[in-house]
Structure 1
Amino acid sequence: MAVIVALGAFLMTLAGGWTAQRVTDRRHLVLGLAGGLMLGVVGLDLLPEAMHAAGREVFGVPLALLLFVGGFLVAHVVERLLAVRHAAHGAADNGGHGGHGHGGGRVPQVGLTAAAAMVGHSLADGVALGAAFQVGGGMGVAVALAVVTHDFADGFNTYTLTRLYGNARRRALLMLFADAAAPVVGAASTLLFTLPEEPLGAYLGFFGGALLYLAAAEILPEAHHEHPALSTLMCTVGGVAGIWLVVGLAD
């Protein structure tokens, strides 16, 4: 049953990516919505799950929160290191005149890394889905609703993140397909083993921190850079509200 539900998540992920690529003429609205969806997923879905699963403390701080901060810092450090390396290559390629390279200084590897993290998150979704059905039907239905619905946001964000950093459309589609297939693979894996709850919670905390960094430091500033419009802000608020609705219905 879990694998069948995961196929629904597969289709929803593709639908989210298709939506993201079809509205490129309203890029600021797409980015505003993506930022809101990411913020909602982190604050209302990932972090509460991580806190519940990885509840023990490390030196007075819950493990999930510690890894949440760690994920935020790692994302920041990785982006800065890649940006410095990219700038150095740009300077060399332009005879020391400090060219920005393609994509307006964006680093494609950052987008691919972020998309790969989304794939890892979707894989964990599939594992959680399979584990929920092992616990019992009621739990399985609740988790299925949450996974299938918010995988639309995952597909939307995976495509948007990959393209935002200057990657070609083909790469973005490949990452989107990988993200769509990940829940099916994760759900199928639970037919062979069960992932302990605490490592899963630790991963969700770390991933949540990295995702929040991308939303707050990259996606939302980019959304408002050229179009500081009320409509963009409303898309962000709407994205958060949409995830809140999904979480509420799942509970």
Structure 2
Amino acid sequence: MAVFVALGAFLMTLAGGWTALRVTDRRHLVLGLAGGLMLGVVGLDLMPEALDAAGTEVFGVPAALLLFVAGFLLAHMVERLLAGRQAAHGAEDGASHEGRAPEVGLTAAAAMVGHSAMDGVAIGAAFQVGGGMGAAVALAVVAHDFADGFNTYTITSLYGNARRRALAMLFADAAAPVAGAASTLLFTIPEGVLGSYLGFFGGALLYLAAAEILPEAHHDHPARSTLLCTIAGVAFIWLVVGVAG
């Protein structure tokens, strides 16, 4: 049952990526919406779950929050290192797009794939608890996997990667929940480890949203409509979390 439900996440992820692909003439609106979706996922979905799952504290600070900060800093350091290497060697053969390192986009997309796999694991684990719990978790996952697909394609292409790479990462992200759900037939991930991962991933995702996606959205089109798209993205995740809760 869990694997069958995860197929819905597969389709919704592809739908999100297709939407991002089709609206290239409204790129600023796409980026504004993607930034809002990412902010909503981190603040309203990932971090509450991470704090609940990884309940231990380190010197008075929840472990999930420490890993959140570590993820943010690591994303910043990786981007700066890659940007510095580009500046030293110069852009060659389309290796950059508006000064951005394609590797950053691929790394971020790979993290999205890992997150989607954990979504599948969450579906499988919830169905092991009971049908009602499984249905609630599946609803949340399927709904926000539209945002995952949207963000995966947007992030990959934003950093100058070719369309085929962006599509490859999109399909990997779509397949990840199915693989994650299937894995629960064999083993389960300890709750503390899952919470720590979500905290770390949330920090990296927030960095990309706040330092890259949203500034890019307003760079050429500082319009009110872009801001409204960002707010709409956050509101959508809030709605999803509220309905699932």
- TM interval, short-chain normalised: over 0.9
Kindly indicate whether residue 55 of structure 2 is the aligned counterpart of residue 55 of structure 1. Answer: yes
The CA distance in 2 between the partners of 1:126 and 1:114, in whole Å, is: 19
Q: Within 5 A, what are the aligned runs for 1:58-207?
A: 58-90=58-90, 102-207=96-201
Counterpart AA for 1:12 = M
Deviation at 1:44, TM superposition (A): 0.2
Identify the residue that residue 240 of structure 1 maps to in structure 2. Answer: 234
The CA distance in 2 between the partners of 1:17 and 1:59, in whole Å, is: 41
The CA distance in 2 between the partners of 1:87 and 1:242, in whole Å, is: 39
The CA distance in 1 between the partners of 2:217 and 2:204, in whole Å, is: 19
Kindly indicate whether residue 12 of structure 2 is the aligned counterpart of residue 18 of structure 1. Answer: no
Identify the residue that residue 4 of structure 2 maps to in structure 1. Answer: 4
The CA distance in 1 between the partners of 2:172 and 2:123, in whole Å, is: 18
Counterpart AA for 1:21 = L
Per-residue CA deviation, residues 106-141 of structure 1 (Å, 9 max, x unaligned), is: 100000000000000000000011000001111111
Structure 2 spans left out of the alignment, 5+ residues:
none
Structure 1 stretches of 4+ with a deviation exceeding 4 A read none
Deviation at 1:9, TM superposition (A): 0.1
The CA distance in 2 between the partners of 1:139 and 1:113, in whole Å, is: 32
Change (3 A) 1:146 1:119: same
Counterpart AA for 1:219 = I
Counterpart AA for 1:137 = G
Identify the residue that residue 216 of structure 1 maps to in structure 2. Answer: 210
Deviation at 1:235, TM superposition (A): 0.1
Q: TM-score, normalised by structure 2?
A: 0.98
Structure 1 spans left out of the alignment, 5+ residues:
94-99
Per-residue CA deviation, residues 86-115 of structure 1 (Å, 9 max, x unaligned), is: 111107x6xxxxxx9631111000000000
Kindly indicate whether residue 44 of structure 2 is the aligned counterpart of residue 44 of structure 1. Answer: yes
The CA distance in 2 between the partners of 1:247 and 1:224, in whole Å, is: 27
- Given that 1:90 and 1:101 are in contact with CA atoms closer than 8 Å, whether structure 2 keeps it comes out as no
**Percentage of pairs with the same residue:** 83
Give the secondary-structure state (helix, strand or coil) at the position aligned to 2:185: coil
- Given that 1:20 and 1:160 are in contact with CA atoms closer than 8 Å, whether structure 2 keeps it comes out as yes
The CA distance in 2 between the partners of 1:104 and 1:223, in whole Å, is: 14
Q: How many residues align?
A: 245
- Given that 1:75 and 1:213 are in contact with CA atoms closer than 8 Å, whether structure 2 keeps it comes out as yes
Per-residue CA deviation, residues 181-212 of structure 1 (Å, 9 max, x unaligned), is: 00000000000111111100000000000000
Counterpart AA for 1:168 = A
Identify the residue that residue 96 of structure 1 maps to in structure 2. Answer: none
Kindly indicate whether residue 224 of structure 2 is the aligned counterpart of residue 230 of structure 1. Answer: yes
The CA distance in 1 between the partners of 2:171 and 2:116, in whole Å, is: 11
Counterpart AA for 2:117 = L
Counterpart AA for 2:88 = A
Moved more, 20-29 or 101-110: 101-110
Identify the residue that residue 35 of structure 1 maps to in structure 2. Answer: 35
The CA distance in 2 between the partners of 1:144 and 1:247, in whole Å, is: 12
Deviation at 1:35, TM superposition (A): 0.1
- Given that 1:6 and 1:187 are in contact with CA atoms closer than 8 Å, whether structure 2 keeps it comes out as yes
Change (3 A) 1:128 1:101: closer
Counterpart AA for 2:108 = A
Per-residue CA deviation, residues 220-244 of structure 1 (Å, 9 max, x unaligned), is: 0000000000000000000000000
The CA distance in 2 between the partners of 1:9 and 1:241, in whole Å, is: 20
